[in-house]
């Protein structure tokens, strides 16, 4: 696994989907008027016969996708996370999740990665999708993982919600990384505390764990790209013996990764103190940059360090996260 | 398919009789939906819908009672199973579900079926199944849901000429007549404005329905038949002011209803 700043690539998802679709005629690509933004202009340009732009009609798009899946196609549905989940929620329930159909709903621009205000910030999409029976929920962290998630979910028998960062995608993992739909990724162990993160918060979690290690905290790091079904056994095992568990997600702390981990630890009788880094049951705001929003809403490397430090209560000054502004073409944690 | 030899008009009363018996077991239920759609279903199952080749979508899940009755009359469903309709543990639930037999898609949450039908029609196009049709029953109350018009726009833009919708315009929704809740007229004008071929007919006249459906098949674009119906047609014994959305059918009234229909079918 690399350390920041990370190189970035463009359209790892769109490239992976196109590669898969060239070899598999079952795949149909649906877009809700956000084709380039969701990287599927690649698909549209090369496989136009299997590309359908449904326009700004998300409810209809989900209904069409459900019927296509019923008829044996594998529809991949694309729009921003807010429009993919909030707007057609009842349609996802009735046309996709309840019939347990292999529709892949891909929501871009998660959490506060959009400076566009609450209308565009998918801060509760994981909670909504996680609440649905049959639904698998994936919050991918980097380009290496995304390239593996796409083929990994192709033949999954039920529906999948895949949450993806928009635009420049960091390369965090080496080529040897192996994504699994059933296993969480134990990046390194630690006896004092464990940080559990996914999606856009993984880079911050990596740095936070390093800073804490330098400060004498034996800090483990667990990457959980699949929020549902949660690999509870690995979560509980990673937390065993640790005095503090800190989750980090670009999402409200209600119903997402932090909630899933809390449920798993509570049911296992874990005695670890839990702190959740995420939006604290609040909508965010419009701004000029996402960077500002991550700082405003305490979704930074320092937020994770603070959470671990206060949970452990070792005394002394809290370690300070390094500031490493990324050069053009690089990606750094906030 | 081995259709019964009777005319669609007779088949419609057979559907009514089946529905009366299914609802009678509970004393109340979605009988009005079966009464208003009896001729529609009879005409559809007698011609335009070809099981095994075509798809049939019942968008308002409350109408599944009529679809079950029609399927049983047409040899597509064991008539004995109708006795379980709406009972605990039955696959024939009162509002359509994933377990509902004899139909390709049904929606308990209203306004979603046309999108599903569009998906089926799109699939047939993608697979080169040029002969296959998708027939979808929509209710007039559902036209209050915006998703119906999203789907209508999509179907016309993409020229889905293998898609046939039938609107059961029975002027009934939970809180009363549709006309008193929201003005949805002119129904045919709306569909035409959305790019569809539209016919507006007496939904209890099987000959008019058959002619309209033939025209729909030949239209060369998505086509809709607006079928004007009522939720009490075909049963003169129902009291005035019967709530067509959820008909009360106590045992004595159920017996009179069955007798009336049996006499007409005799």
Residue-wise DSSP of B109-154: STT-HHHHHHHHHHHHHHTT-TT--EEEEEEGGGGGSHHHHHHHHH
CB contact under 8 A, A70 and B154: no
The DSSP call for residue A241 is T
**Residue A189: alpha-carbon gap to chain centroid:** 22
The Cα of B65 is separated from the nearest Cα of chain A by a number of Å equal to 19
Strand-pair category, A185-188 with A160-164: unpaired
* pTM (two decimals): 0.96
Q: How far is CA B31 from CA A115, A193, A334, B248, in A?
A: 53, 63, 62, 9
**Contact residues on chain B for A91, CB-CB shorter than 8 A:** 112, 115, 147
* Residues of chain A positioned with their CB less than 8 A from the CB of B151: 57, 60, 63-64
Integer distance in angstroms from the first to the last C-alpha of chain B?
Answer: 25
Selected catalytic residue, list A39, A58, A124, A249: A58
CB-based contacts of B50, cutoff 8 Å, min separation 6: B1, B133
Residues contacting A102, CB < 8 A, separation 6+: A69, A74, A155, A156, A157, A158, A159, A160
Q: Say what percent of chain A tops pLDDT 90.
A: 97
CB contact under 8 A, B122 and A70: no
Cβ neighbors of B193 (< 8 A, separation 6 or more) are: none
Neighbouring C-beta atoms of residue A316, cutoff 10 Å: 8
Question: Once rounded to an integer, what is the mean pLDDT over residues A270-294?
Answer: 96
What is the β-pairing status of strands A219-223 and A193-197? Answer: parallel
Give the pLDDT confidence score for residue A124 in this predicted structure. 98
Q: Which domains, ranges and CATH numbers included, belong to chain B? A: 8-265 (3.40.50.970)
**Considering CB atoms only, which of B108, B124, B127 is closest to A94?**
B108
Q: Which residue of A has its CA nearest to B108?
A: A94
Q: Is A58 a catalytic residue?
A: yes
DSSP state of B46: I
The greatest distance separating any two alpha carbons of chain A, rounded to the nearest whole angstrom, comes to 63
Chain A residues in contact with B153 (beta carbon < 8 A) = 55, 57
Q: Which of A49, A50, A63 sits opposite B116 (nearest CB)?
A: A63
Residues in chain B closer than 8 A to A68 (CB atoms) = 119, 122-123
Task: Say if residues B229 and B187 touch (Cβ distance below 8 Å).
Answer: no
pLDDT (tens digit per residue) in A206-258: 999 999 999 999 999 999 999 999 999 999 999 999 999 999 999 999 999 99
Q: Do B154 and A64 touch (CB under 8 A)?
A: yes
The distance of A85 to chain B (nearest Cα, Å) reads: 15
C-beta separation of A63 from A51 below 8 A = no
Residue B120: closest C-alpha in chain A: A67
Q: Do B126 and A62 touch (CB under 8 A)?
A: no
CA A72 to chain centre: 28
* Structural domains of chain A, ranges and CATH numbers in brackets: 7-170 (3.40.50.970), 185-314 (3.40.50.920)
The answer to whether the CB of A113 falls within 8 A of the CB of A165 is: yes
Residue A1 near residue A187 (C-beta atoms within 8 A): yes
The tally of CA atoms less than 13 A away on the side-chain side of residue A122 is 29
Rounded CA-CA distance B187/B184 in Å is 6
Provide, as residue numbers in chain B, all residues whose Cβ is less than 8 Å from the Cβ of A57: 147, 150-151, 153-154
**Stretch A152-160: mean pLDDT:** 98
Element (H, E) at A139: strand A136-139
CA–CA distance, B209 with B228 (Å, rounded to integer): 10
Residues of B with Cβ-Cβ distance to A66 under 8 angstroms: 115-116, 119
Q: Read off the DSSP letter of residue B150.
A: H
- For position B6, what pLDDT does the model report? 80
Cα A28 versus chain centre, distance: 23
pLDDT tens-place string over residues A33-91: 999 999 999 999 999 999 999 999 999 999 999 999 999 999 999 999 999 999 999 99
- A273-279 and A244-252: which strand pairing? parallel
A67 — contact with chain B (CB < 8 Å)? Answer: yes
Residue A325 has pLDDT above 90, yes or no: no
Q: How far apart are CA B266 and CA B47, in angstroms?
A: 24
Whether chain B has a CB inside 8 Å of the CB on A158: the answer is no
Burial readout A159-192 (b: 16 or more C-beta within 10 A, e: otherwise): bbbbbbbbebbbbbbeeebebeeeebbbbeebeb
Query: What span, in angstroms and rounded, lies between the C-alpha atoms of A138 and B103?
Result: 33
C-beta separation of A178 from A189 below 8 A = no
Residue showing tokens 């649905």: A132
CA dist list (Å): B241 to A270, B83, B169, B246: 63, 28, 18, 12
Of A54, A70, A94, the CB nearest to B154: A54
- CA separation for the pair A105, A88 (Å, rounded): 11
List the structure tokens of A76.
């991949």
CB contacts under 8 A, A 40-59 vs B, are 49-50, 52, 54-55, 57, 59
CA angle B195, B197, B198 (to 5 degrees): 115
**pLDDT given at position A326:** 84
Instruction: Go through B220-248 and write b for each residue having 16 or more CB atoms within 10 A of its CB, e for each that does not.
Output: eebbbbbbbbbbbbbbeebeeebebbbbe
Asked if residues B49 and B74 have their Cβ atoms less than 8 Å apart, the reply is: no
Q: What is the DSSP letter of A94?
A: I
Spatial distance between the Cα atoms of A120 and B164, rounded to a whole number of angstroms: 37
Q: Which residues in B lie closer than 8 A to residue A49 (C-beta atoms)?
A: 126
Is A132 an interface residue toward B (CB < 8 Å)? no
Tell me the pLDDT of chain A averaged across its residues: 97
Residue A288 CB neighbour total at 10 angstroms: 8
Q: Chain centroid to CA A190: how far? A: 23
* Residue of B100, B71, B98, B74 lying closest to B85 (CA atoms): B100
Size of interface A-B (CB pairs under 8 A): 84
A60 close contact with B: CB closer than 8 A: yes
Question: Which residue in A62, A64, A91 is closest to B122 by CB distance?
Answer: A64
Per-10-residue mean pLDDT for chain B, 266 residues long? 72 98 97 98 97 98 98 97 97 96 95 98 97 98 98 98 98 96 98 98 98 98 98 96 94 98 97
Name the helix (H) or strand (E) containing A250: strand A244-252
CA–CA gap between residue B207 and residue B210 (Å, rounded): 5
What is the structure's pLDDT at B5?
55
List residues bridging with A263 in a β-sheet: none
pLDDT value at position B1?
A: 47
């Amino acid at each position: 696994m690399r350390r920041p700043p990370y190189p970035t690539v463009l359209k790892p998802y769109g490239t992976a989907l196109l590669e898969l679709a060239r070899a598999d005629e079952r795949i149909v690509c649906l877009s809700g008027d956000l084709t380039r933004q969701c990287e599927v202009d690649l698909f549209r340009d090369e496989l136009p016969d299997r590309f359908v732009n449904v326009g700004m009609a998300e409810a209809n798009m989900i209904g069409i996708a459900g019927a296509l899946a019923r008829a044996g196609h594998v529809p991949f549905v694309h729009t921003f996370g807010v429009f993919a989940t909030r707007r057609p929620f009842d349609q996802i329930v009735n046309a996709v999740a309840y019939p347990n159909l292999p529709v892949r709903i891909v929501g871009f621009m998660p959490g506060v990665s959009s400076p566009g205000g609450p209308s565009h910030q998918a801060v509760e999409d994981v909670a909504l999708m996680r609440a649905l029976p049959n639904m698998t929920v994936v919050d991918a962290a980097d380009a290496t993982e995304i390239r593996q998630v796409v083929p990994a979910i192709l033949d999954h028998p039920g529906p999948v919600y895949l949450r993806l960062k928009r635009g420049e995608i960091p390369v965090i993992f080496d080529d040897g990384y192996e994504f699994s739909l059933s296993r969480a990724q134990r990046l390194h162990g630690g006896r004092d505390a464990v940080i559990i993160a996914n999606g856009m918060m993984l880079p911050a979690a990596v740095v936070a764990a390093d800073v804490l290690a330098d400060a004498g905290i034996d800090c483990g790091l667990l990457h959980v790209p699949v929020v549902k079904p949660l690999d509870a056994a690995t979560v509980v095992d990673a937390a065993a013996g640790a005095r503090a568990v800190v989750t980090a997600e670009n999402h409200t702390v209600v119903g997402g990764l932090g909630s899933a981990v809390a449920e798993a630890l509570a049911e296992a009788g874990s005695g670890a103190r839990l702190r959740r880094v995420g939006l604290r049951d609040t909508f965010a705001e419009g701004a000029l940059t996402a960077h500002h929003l991550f700082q405003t809403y305490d979704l930074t490397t320092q937020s994770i360090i603070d959470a671990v430090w206060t949970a452990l209560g070792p005394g002394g000054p809290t370690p300070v996260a390094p500031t490493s502004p990324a050069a053009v073409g690089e990606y750094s944690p906030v | 398919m081995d259709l019964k030899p009777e005319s669609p008009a007779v088949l419609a009363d057979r559907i009514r009789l089946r529905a009366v018996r299914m609802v009678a077991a509970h004393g109340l239920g979605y009988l009005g939906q079966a009464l208003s759609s009896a001729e529609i279903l009879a005409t559809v199952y007698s011609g335009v819908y070809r099981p095994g080749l075509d798809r049939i979508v019942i968008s308002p899940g409350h109408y599944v009672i009529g679809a079950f009755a029609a399927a049983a009359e047409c040899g597509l469903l064991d008539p004995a199973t109708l006795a379980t309709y709406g009972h605990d543990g039955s696959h024939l639930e009162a509002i359509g579900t994933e377990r509902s037999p004899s139909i390709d898609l049904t929606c308990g949450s209203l306004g979603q079926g046309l999108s599903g039908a569009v998906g089926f029609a799109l699939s047939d196009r993608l697979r080169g199944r040029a002969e296959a049709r998708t027939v979808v029953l929509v209710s007039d109350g559902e036209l209050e849901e915006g998703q119906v018009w999203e789907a209508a726009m999509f179907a016309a833009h993409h020229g889905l000429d293998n898609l046939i919708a039938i609107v059961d315009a029975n002027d009934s929704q939970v809180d009363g007549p549709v006309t008193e809740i929201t003005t949805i007229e002119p129904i045919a004008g709306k569909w035409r404005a959305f790019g569809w071929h539209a016919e507006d007919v007496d939904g209890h006249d099987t000959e008019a329905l058959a002619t309209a459906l033939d025209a729909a098949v030949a239209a060369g674009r998505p086509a809709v038949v607006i079928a004007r119906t009522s939720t009490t047609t075909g049963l003169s014994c129902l009291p005035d002011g019967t709530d067509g959305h959820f008909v009360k059918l106590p045992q004595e009234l159920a017996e009179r209803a069955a007798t009336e229909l049996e006499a007409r079918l005799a």
